[in-house]
Amino acid sequence: MRLKLTYRPEHHNMIIPFNTNDFVTGYIYRSIKSASSVHAKWLHDVGFTLDYRKFKFFTFSRLIIPNRRLVHSGLKVLSPNIYLYISMLMPRTLENFVTGMFADQTLYLGTKDENLLLVSTEVLPDPEFKQRMKFRTLSPIRCSIKSPDGRRTPKYLLPGDNELPSRLRENILNKYRTHYRKKPENDSFNFEFDEKYVNDRGGFKRMTSLITLKQGKPEQTKNRVFDAHFYLSGNSE
């Protein structure tokens, strides 16, 4: 199920930090924990597993600010509302999140002066999936493999890397197997970039960016990610 959450800044001319991923992740886990601390701990520590892989089965967009201005410390909000899209596959996770979200309707972004207040929640209809569809990212894609030279730093797969489509295919098939506990009868899956989008952006290299996770903490990492418009074709299941 997909949710569209609408927020308003707590004060005028608020500045949103560049890196908000950790704040939104923390907000989701705190909301789930508020309703069920047991489920929140299980989801964080264990999750849905397949072999050595672990999945959470939820994802979220970046904070979408329709009207904004770039400043030194972040994005200055010039619009009355800010939007966040969240998608959760498992009903129990969704139920606990919604219960906890309504108990505390504030999304904290680092300091007491950087808060977003919940205005409304909308359940979005499920899309009608077809054999070939066009998509665009609402949050960047991070795809990596172990470094071929044995270093601890992973190798990030980016637009233009030959391994990227097969790695994305492997990921979606693993998630299918984890959820349904079986392989799909038809495992056809193909990923291709929208050439017009690539050209409009000025090529593959202009589609990537660097984001910081766990900023300011000992475990801080910088991750190379990318945004894209793309086509998926294959088994609509």
Question: DSSP character for 205?
Answer: G
Per-residue pLDDT band at 150 (split at 50, 70, 90) = low
Contact 3, 86 (CB under 8 A): yes
Mean pLDDT lowest among 52-56, 82-86, 201-205, 224-228: 52-56
* pTM as predicted: 0.91
Could you tell me the domains of the chain?
2-124 (3.30.70.1890), 134-234 (3.30.70.1900)
Q: What is the mean pLDDT of residues 187-208?
A: 95
Query: Would you give the DSSP letter of residue 46?
Result: T
Rounded Cα distance, 229 and 215, in Å: 28
Asked if residue 119 lies in contact with residue 131, where contact means CB atoms within 8 angstroms, the answer is no
Rounded mean pLDDT of 93-99? 95
**How many whole angstroms separate alpha carbon 14 and alpha carbon 120?**
20
**Does the pLDDT value for residue 228 go beyond 80?**
yes
Taking the C-alpha atoms of residue 220 and residue 228, their distance in angstroms, rounded to an integer, is 25
- From CA 107, how far away is CA 119, in angstroms rounded? 11
Residue 161 has pLDDT above 90, yes or no: yes
C-beta of residue 15 within 8 angstroms of C-beta of residue 73: yes
pLDDT in tens, 17-69: 988 999 999 999 999 999 999 999 999 999 999 888 889 999 999 999 999 99
Mean pLDDT of 153-173: 92
Percent of the chain with pLDDT over 70: 99
Residue 104 has pLDDT above 70, yes or no: yes
Phi/psi-derived region of residue 203, left when phi > 0, alpha when psi is between -120 and 50, beta in every other case: left
The SS3 call for residue 27 is helix
Q: Could you give the C-alpha distances from 9 to 61, 81, 141, in angstroms and in order?
A: 18, 7, 27
| CA atoms of 53 and 92, how far apart (whole Å) | 21
Can you tell me the mean pLDDT for 100-120?
A: 90
Question: Would you put residue 96 in left (φ > 0), alpha (ψ -120 to 50) or beta?
Answer: alpha
Instruction: Kindly tell me if the per-residue pLDDT of 213 is higher than 70.
Output: yes
Per-residue pLDDT tens for 112-139? 778 999 999 999 999 899 999 999 999 9
Cα–Cα nearest to 89, from 216, 175, 205: 175
pLDDT in tens, 167-177: 999 999 999 99
Mean pLDDT of the chain: 92
- The position carrying tokens 């619009």 is 79
